[in-house]
């Protein structure tokens, strides 16, 4: 019998009943799985219950609804300004401008989505998820915003200094600077925002090259002693006697300070004393003391037909050679040690009494007269200048300058505005007209035989003057100068009488006669016709320009001993019509 033959009928009936139970179990499991998948799919579209992002409840919402809720409730918080503290000064950043923003999409990412993980399913059912809002930081924009907000807040160190205001020592304090470490501030903001809204910008304090300690040391130990008191200078008067023989004066602290400068070499201060300047200051102090005197030249004056001499006198002058070095050394000392000894010397006059008497004028050697037009203002100017010229004495060998005698012509001296020639056109200026006095003087020089050094004819010819023999004058460059080489002194006499201007020279004749000769006119240039509407225009009558040669002949003992010549060239005097009323 086979194995199968031993089964009973009951056994044959029971076998199919057990197969149906397994199928039923599988079906239950399939239903459960389907329900599980359905639940996962349902909960995957919703944010877990009681979920909060950045403190905002978004549970049970779809991702879009959750994102909208975050944007609505966190927008004001997101826009709150960021405050930067820079060494006690506050500035603000606007997050949107500084590249700082909330990433709402990323903040809800992962809260939804299909998952068969039982843990995810349990979390969806149970809820209670908490997370912070996600942020975005644009590092470049943040760095740019920090730079802009703190622009100009860096400070260079203040370099102090020591200077002199007169003899007063003035100190300017050194101060450290301020340098912002912006990179560190940017990193701190990027790392801490939005949890933190206030940040301190790290700074450093760059030091000045010149320390305050060096300033204080130099001012107290080196500079102040140099100008703390005057330096006394003593000397003697060779012509003095008793108490009058000894001379002393002071170089003041202010004068000493004028020769001191402060040097800064790599943060180390030192005082430089200019010995040449000290020598000048000492000489000036000596002159200002009244203890020295200038040599006085002899003065020749006319008394009727004779001449008298006021005697010359010697002077006393400080010999300042090497005095600067002595004063510089004394400046380092204190008390009575701030004294130096100097020498003095007598000075002689340029024109002695003996020379004056030996070369006294004896006679009139030249005279010249020109005639005035009817112009009271112009005549006033000539009278002022003539009074100053009258009585001038030119010693033998001396060079006379009319500009040097008269100086600038100003309203303060009584001069008024009158006609002058400027760039070939008539105009007005103070002292206008004194060129007539200069021309009269020039002709007195011409016929005296003295040496002509400098003269300048007018631009165009003026008929009241000798053709070719005239001299304009203008301060300071256009001068009238001559050297007295006649061998005797020349006393200048100048006067205005009626319509006459006369200049005469008293002296000693070096020649019997000096003659003038003039060539015919040549190189004629015709004038132009000009119509001028400018304010201040002065009308002109036309006259041609031309050149003439002037010869000066010196005659002595009936014969010509020498001669000289010069050429005078005039530009045309244009025909100017003024149309401005």
Q: Are residues 308 and 417 in the same domain?
A: no
573 falls within a domain: yes
| Short-list 482, 479, 447, CA closest to 369 | 447
Three-state secondary-structure class, residue 574: coil
546 falls within a domain: yes
What is the rounded CA–CA span in Å between residue 195 and residue 183? 20
Q: Are residues 372 and 343 in the same domain?
A: no
121 falls within a domain: no
Write the Ramachandran bin of 431: left for phi over 0, alpha for psi from -120 to 50, otherwise beta. Answer: left
Residue 31 confidence (pLDDT) above 80: no
Cis peptide before 68 (omega within 30 of 0): no
**Cβ(95)–Cβ(18) under 8 Å?**
no
**Cβ(70)–Cβ(56) under 8 Å?**
yes
Q: Are residues 329 and 378 in the same domain?
A: no
Region 91-118 average pLDDT: 80
**Cβ(333)–Cβ(316) under 8 Å?**
no
**Residue keyed to tokens 């349902």:** 42
Q: Are residues 342 and 374 in the same domain?
A: no
Residue where a domain terminates, one of 350, 383, 403: 350
| pLDDT per residue as tens digits for the range 255-312 | 999 999 999 998 999 999 999 999 999 999 999 998 888 999 999 887 877 888 999 9
**Cβ(378)–Cβ(415) under 8 Å?**
no
What's the confidence (pLDDT) of residue 422?
Answer: 62
134 falls within a domain: no
389 falls within a domain: yes
Total domains in the chain come to 2
Q: Are residues 346 and 465 in the same domain?
A: no
What's the confidence (pLDDT) of residue 426?
Answer: 59
Q: Is the dihedral of CA 430, 435, 436, 440 positive or negative?
A: positive
| Short-list 208, 204, 206, 207, CA closest to 87 | 204
Cis peptide before 435 (omega within 30 of 0): no
Residue 318 confidence (pLDDT) above 60: yes
Q: Are residues 313 and 453 in the same domain?
A: no
**Residue keyed to tokens 């943040």:** 142
Q: 523 lies in which domain range?
A: 359-578
Residue 10 confidence (pLDDT) above 50: no
Report the chain's mean pLDDT, rounded to a whole number: 87
Positions of E strands within 103-160: 130-131, 135-137
Predicted structure pTM score: 0.55
Q: Dihedral (C-alpha) 534, 536, 540, 545: value to the nearest 10 degrees?
A: -80
206 falls within a domain: no
| pLDDT per residue as tens digits for the range 418-447 | 756 665 555 666 667 899 999 999 999 999
Q: Are residues 440 and 568 in the same domain?
A: yes
Q: Are strands 363-371 and 89-93 parallel, antiparallel or unpaired?
A: unpaired
Residue where a domain terminates, one of 350, 368, 391: 350
**CA triple 315-318-320, angle to 5 deg:** 145
Q: Are residues 412 and 560 in the same domain?
A: yes
Region 377-383 average pLDDT: 93
Q: Are strands 500-507 and 490-497 parallel, antiparallel or unpaired?
A: antiparallel
What's the confidence (pLDDT) of residue 9?
Answer: 46
- C-alpha distances in angstroms, 349 versus 140, 471, 540? 86, 32, 51
| pLDDT per residue as tens digits for the range 221-260 | 999 999 999 999 999 987 766 666 889 999 999 999 999 9
Q: Are residues 367 and 454 in the same domain?
A: yes
130 falls within a domain: no
Backbone angles phi and psi of 233, in degrees to 5 = -115, 130
Region 326-350 average pLDDT: 93
Residue where a domain terminates, one of 299, 330, 350: 350
Q: Are residues 317 and 370 in the same domain?
A: no
CB atoms within 10 A of CB 59: 18
| pLDDT per residue as tens digits for the range 355-377 | 999 999 999 999 999 999 998 99
| Short-list 374, 367, 377, CA closest to 499 | 374
What's the confidence (pLDDT) of residue 58?
Answer: 85
| pLDDT per residue as tens digits for the range 34-70 | 554 444 445 457 788 888 987 888 888 888 888 888 8
Q: Are residues 418 and 528 in the same domain?
A: yes
| Short-list 162, 164, 161, 163, CA closest to 254 | 164
Q: Are residues 488 and 468 in the same domain?
A: yes
Tally the residues of the chain.
581
């Amino acid at each position: 019998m086979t194995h199968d033959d031993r089964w009973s009928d009951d056994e044959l009936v029971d076998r199919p009943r057990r197969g149906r139970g397994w199928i039923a179990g599988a079906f239950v499991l399939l239903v459960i799985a389907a329900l599980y998948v359905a639940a996962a799919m349902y909960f995957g579209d919703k944010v877990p219950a009681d979920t909060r992002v950045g403190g905002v409840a978004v549970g049970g919402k779809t991702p879009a609804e959750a994102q909208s809720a975050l944007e609505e409730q966190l927008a004001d918080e997101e826009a709150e300004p960021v405050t930067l503290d820079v060494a006690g000064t506050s500035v603000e950043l606007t997050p949107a401008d500084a590249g700082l923003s909330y990433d709402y999409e990323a903040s809800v990412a992962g809260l939804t989505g299909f998952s068969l993980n039982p843990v995810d399913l349990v979390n969806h059912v149970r809820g209670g998820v908490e997370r912070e809002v996600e942020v975005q930081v644009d590092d470049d924009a943040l760095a740019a915003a920090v730079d802009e907000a703190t622009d100009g807040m860096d400070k260079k160190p203040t370099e102090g200094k020591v200077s002199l205001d007169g003899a007063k020592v003035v100190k300017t304090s050194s101060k450290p600077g301020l340098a912002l470490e912006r990179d560190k501030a940017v990193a701190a903001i990027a790392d801490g925002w939005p949890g933190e809204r206030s940040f301190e910008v790290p700074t450093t304090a760059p030091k000045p090259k010149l320390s305050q300690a060096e300033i204080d040391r130099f001012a107290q130990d080196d500079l102040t002693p140099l100008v703390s008191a005057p330096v006394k200078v003593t000397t003697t008067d060779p012509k003095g006697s008793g108490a009058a023989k000894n001379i002393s004066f002071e170089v003041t602290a202010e004068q000493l300070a004028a020769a001191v400068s402060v040097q800064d070499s790599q943060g180390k201060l030192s005082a430089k004393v200019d010995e040449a300047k000290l020598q000048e200051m000492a000489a000036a102090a000596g002159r200002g003391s009244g203890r020295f005197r200038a040599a006085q030249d002899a003065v020749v004056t006319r008394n009727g037909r004779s001449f008298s001499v006021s005697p010359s006198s010697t002077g006393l002058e400080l010999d300042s050679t090497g005095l600067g070095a002595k004063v510089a050394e004394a400046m380092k000392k204190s008390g009575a040690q701030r004294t130096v000894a100097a020498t003095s010397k007598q000075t002689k006059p340029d024109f002695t009494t003996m020379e004056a008497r030996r070369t006294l004028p004896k006679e009139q050697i030249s005279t010249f007269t020109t005639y005035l037009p009817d112009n009271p203002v112009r005549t006033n100017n000539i009278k002022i200048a003539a009074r100053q010229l009258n009585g001038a004495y030119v010693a033998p060998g001396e060079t006379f300058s009319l500009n040097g005698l008269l100086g600038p012509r100003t309203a303060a001296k009584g001069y008024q505005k009158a006609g002058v020639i400027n760039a070939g056109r008539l105009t007005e200026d103070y002292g206008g007209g004194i060129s007539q006095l200069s021309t009269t003087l020039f002709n007195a020089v011409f016929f005296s035989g003295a040496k002509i050094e400098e003269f300048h004819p007018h631009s165009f010819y003026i008929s009241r003057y000798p053709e070719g023999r005239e001299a304009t004058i203008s301060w300071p460059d256009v001068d009238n100068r001559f050297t007295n080489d006649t061998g005797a002194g020349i006393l200048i006499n100048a006067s205005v009488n009626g319509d006459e201007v006369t200049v005469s020279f008293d002296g000693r004749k070096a020649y019997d006669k000096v003659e003038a000769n003039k060539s015919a006119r040549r190189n004629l240039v015709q004038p132009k016709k000009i119509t001028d509407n400018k304010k201040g225009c002065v009308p002109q009558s036309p006259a041609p320009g031309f050149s003439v040669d002037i010869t000066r002949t010196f005659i002595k003992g009936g014969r010509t001993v020498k001669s000289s010549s010069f050429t005078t060239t005039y530009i045309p005097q244009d025909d100017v019509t003024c149309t401005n009323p």
